[in-house]
Amino acid sequence: MCGIFGYLGNKENSTEMVVEGLKRLEYRGYDSWGLASILQEKPAIEIVKKVGKISDFKGKKFAKSHIAIGHSRWATHGGVTQVNAHPQTSEKGGIAVVHNGIIENYQELREELAQEGHKFKSETDTEVIPHLIERYIELGFEKAFRKALARLKGRFAIVVVGEKQETIMAARRGSPMIVGKGKDEYFVASDIPAFLPYTRDVMYIDDNEMLIIKKNGEKAEINFFNLKDNSEIEKRIVEIDWDYTDAEKGDFDHFMLKEIMDQKETICRAINQDTKEIMKVAERIKGAYGTFLVGCGTAGKVCMAGDYFLSKIAQKHVNFVVASEFSAYHHFLTDKTLMVVVSQSGETADVLEAMEVAKKKGVQILSLVNVEGSSIQRQSDYSFLINAGPEKAVASTKAATSQLSLLLMIAYAVAGKLEEGRKLLIESASKINDMLNPRYLTYIKAVAEKIYEQENMYIIGKGENYPMALESAIKIQEVSYIHAEGFAAGELKHGPIALIEGGVPCLVLLSKDENYQDVINNAVELKSRGGYIIGISPENNEVFDQWIKVPDVNGASPIVNIIPVQILAYYLAVLRGKNPDMPRNLAKSVTVK
C-alpha cells in the first residue's frame, strides 16, 4: 500500500527530490510520512517524520545530500503516530529502513531481539528489520542486509541506508518496487510516477531479488542479485510510454475529475491492440476447458461484466471469481484451464496469490493491466496493456472503463465479430467525448446538490448493468462515505426493497435492450415505496425524478453508464467536504493481504 522513494546520484538536493517524489506517490498512503538522508558534510543520518499528508508539507531547507529515502504510510501495524511513521531505525540509529508489506513473523523476531536487549520504540512490524541488520552489522553492511532478509517471512519491499555508507540497498518479495535509471543517478520507488519527471527508463525487480546502488565518484552504479543463491543478475532497461503531464492534475481540482475527463481518449487507447494478438487470445478462450475471470474491487466488477459480455455476445460460459476466494476453486483447475486476471496496478496481492494457485495446476494466464512490466504482467502467459496512463486517484475511473472496453472487444473476437466490436467501441468513445463537457458536469453537480446530505443510496441494474450497479456502490462509498448498495433489479422483492423509505436516492441504470421495461417496472416499485429515482438512461421516463442522459450504445452500455456515476460520486464527495483523491482507510494499490 505505502509509497517508497529513494535517490542516489550526483544531485545535492536529494531530500527535496524525495519529498516531491513522495507527493507524487501520496495516493499509495497518506497517514504519515518520513525521510532519511545521508548528510554530505558529516557521515550521519538525518531523520524527519510527520503525521498527516506530505502534500500539506511546505518544506524546509534540507542539508546537502546525494542519498535519501522516504516513505508515505498507509498504516497496517501500529496506529498513525510520528513514532510509527517510517523510516524506522536501528537501536543505535545508524541504519534506516522504509518498508511496504507485512513481516508475518515480526512478533517472533521482536521477542527474540528483545531477549538480547534490543529496545523498540514503535508498534510497527518494520522496526525489526533495522534491528536485525544491526545485529549482523559486524559482517558488513551488505552481508548484514542479506542475513536479515533471510529471517523475514511475508511480502515486502524494503529500502535501507546506513550512516557512513554511500549506498542504497533494496529487496522485494511480493510488494512492488521499480528502479529508474537517470544520468549517473538511480531512483528506487514503489511506482513509476515518483521519478517520471526525471526518467522514463526503468528496470523491474522480481520477487526474491535485491539491488545495491553505490556512489563511484560522480557516478552511481547498480547491481542486482538473486537472494536465493546470491548470483548477480543482468537487467533490461525498458522505456515507459507515459508522459509526465499525464501524472499531474493540470487545471483540475482533483485527480479523480481529471481522470474521469481523460476517458475522452483512454477508451480508444485501450482498444488499440494488435489484431493478431487479440485473435490468438480469442482462440485460447474458445479452446479452454474452463475459463476464470479474476479480480478485486473495481477490477472484480469489471470481470463480472466480462462474464456477461462473453455469455451474451459469444455464447461462451466463463466463471467470475473474486481473487481472494479463488483458492476454493483449485479442484477444477487443469492445464487446459485459462485464467483471465484484471488489475490496474499489476501488483494486487490477492490476484498474485490466485495466480500462484493457478500456476501450480498448469493454468495459462491472460492479464489486463495498466503498468508495463508489473508483477502480474511478467507472470502471465499473455498480457494486454489497457493504456490508460497513470491513474492516481484511489477510486478507479478511466482504468475501469478501459478494462471494460478491452474485455468487450475480446468477447466480440471470441464471437468472430472483432471488427463489429471495435466499431461499436470507437462509436461509443466518440459519444463519450461529446458527453463529457462542462454543461454535463454542471448538471450532475446539481443532482448531487439535491442528495448529498443523504446517508443511504441504492443502485439497481440488470444484465451487464448489474455489475455496474455494484461498481456504482463502490464509487459512492469510497469517496463520499455514503452508505451505498447495488442490487440486481429483479432481486428487489427478495429483501432489499425493505430498505426503501421516503426520499432515499435510488439510481437506476438502463440501456435500450430487452431488459429496459423490466428495470422500469422495478423503478416504479422503488418509487411507490418513497424512493427518489435518478435514471441513468438513453431516454427519459415519467418514473424518473431526475434524469441523467447517456448515449445509446447498445452492448457497450456498462461503459457509458458508469461514467455519470463516477461524476456524481465525485461531486457528492466534494459537497460533503471529503477529498475524493484520498478516501480514508484506502490506498490505490492493495499490495498487502
pLDDT in tens, the chain (593 residues): 678 999 999 888 888 998 888 888 876 667 888 899 988 777 789 899 888 888 788 767 788 889 999 998 877 767 888 888 889 999 888 999 999 888 889 899 999 999 999 999 988 899 999 999 999 999 999 999 999 999 999 888 999 999 888 899 999 988 888 899 999 899 999 888 889 889 989 998 888 999 999 988 778 999 999 998 889 999 989 887 766 556 677 788 999 999 999 999 899 989 999 999 999 999 999 999 999 999 999 999 999 999 999 999 999 999 999 999 999 999 999 999 999 999 998 888 899 999 999 999 999 999 999 988 888 999 999 999 999 988 888 899 999 999 999 999 999 999 999 999 999 999 999 999 999 999 999 999 999 999 999 999 999 999 999 999 999 999 999 999 999 999 999 988 888 888 888 999 999 999 999 999 999 999 999 999 999 999 999 999 999 999 999 999 989 999 999 999 999 999 999 999 999 988 887 755 555 55
How many other C-beta atoms are found inside a 10 Å radius of the C-beta of residue 263? 28
So what's the pLDDT on residue 1? 60
Q: How many residues does the chain have?
A: 593
Q: What is the DSSP string of 530-584?
A: T-EEEEEESS--TT-SEEEE----GGGHHHHHHHHHHHHHHHHHHHTT--TTS-T
So what's the pLDDT on residue 556? 95
Which residues, listed in sequence order, are joined to residue 484 by a DSSP beta bridge? 457
**Helix axis angle, 263-270 to 418-435, nearest 10°:** 170
Domains of the chain with CATH codes: 3-240 (3.60.20.10), 249-435 (3.40.50.10490), 437-586 (3.40.50.10490)
Which residues, listed in sequence order, are joined to residue 216 by a DSSP beta bridge? 219
So what's the pLDDT on residue 591? 52
Which residues, listed in sequence order, are joined to residue 166 by a DSSP beta bridge? none
Q: What amino acid positions are annotated as catalytic residues?
A: 2, 588
Q: Taking the CA atoms of the chain, what radius of gyration do you get in angstroms?
A: 25
Q: Could you give the 3-state DSSP secondary structure of residue 471?
A: helix
Counting other chains too, the contacts that 135-138 makes at CB distance below 8 Å and 24 or more residues apart are 137/95
What's the pTM? 0.78
Where do we find the cell 510520528?
A: 82
| Beta strands 338-343 and 291-295, pairing class | parallel
Contact 414, 401 (CB under 8 A): no
Cell numbers placing 378: 511478467
Chain mean position to CA 540: 36
Distance CA 503, CA 515 (A): 26
